[in-house]
Amino acid sequence: MQYPEPIAKLIDSYTKLPGIGSKTATRLAFFTLDMDEKDVESFAKALVSAKKDLHFCSICGNITESDPCVICVDKSRDQSQVIVVEQPKDVMALEKMREYHGLYHVLHGVLSPIEGKGPEDINITGLIKRLQQNDQIKEVILATNATPEGEATATYIARLLKPAGVKVTRLAHGLSVGSDIEYADEMTLFKAIEGRTEL
């Protein structure tokens, strides 16, 4: 027996989300049917609004309603530091910490020859232009993930920026607070030893 077309379309729409298979999509579709009509309308409006009202900041590449974004126009932030991250969600994670008060630059991906992603496919050109136009920036902090692609991207950007005379640093990697050495993988232990500090 086939589902009626409206629910089949809803199931198909949910399967387009990452990590959602057909069983989960079916469960979500039927959950949606059980929701109050006002909640469903509000959910649909939120989806449309997020797609229609958000865009990327012309300076840093973060998601924003206004251009430039609130971080880029905030003159109270440290204008001498820029953290380079892979995705807008990384900006949100760093902002939750409330310890960093500089600027950001979002790459929207990493270098990945396997996926055919080269330097022209991510926001590296925007970073170079930004450094050329803003002599206040003294340090670029590379905060790409500790994956082979993230490491390759950080190394590539560091090599590009060295001649510009800007200090280029990398976020420390290693053991997380509260973790046991016996459960850490080899790469994590290597990074922890490599990034050790004097006490």
Going by pLDDT thresholds of 50, 70 and 90, the confidence category of residue 78 is: very high
Phi, psi of 130 (to 5 degrees): -60, -40
Please name each of the domains of the chain with its CATH number: 5-40 (1.10.8.420), 76-169 (3.40.1360.10)
- pLDDT number for residue 112: 93
Q: Which amino acid is at 126?
A: G
Per DSSP, helices labelled H in 16-80 are 22-34, 37-53, 70-73
For the chain, percent of residues with pLDDT exceeding 90: 77
Q: Which amino acid is at 52?
A: K
Residue of 181, 184, 119 whose CA lies nearest to 149: 119
Assess contact for 183 and 154: CB atoms under 8 A: no
Is the whole model's pTM more than 0.85, yes or no? no
Going by pLDDT thresholds of 50, 70 and 90, the confidence category of residue 199 is: low
- pLDDT number for residue 192: 76
pLDDT in tens, 1-49: 689 999 999 999 999 999 999 999 999 999 999 999 999 999 999 999 9
- pLDDT number for residue 191: 77
Helices and strands in the chain: count of H runs, count of E runs: 8, 6
Assess contact for 130 and 59: CB atoms under 8 A: yes
Residue of 116, 66, 61 whose CA lies nearest to 90: 61
- pLDDT number for residue 197: 63
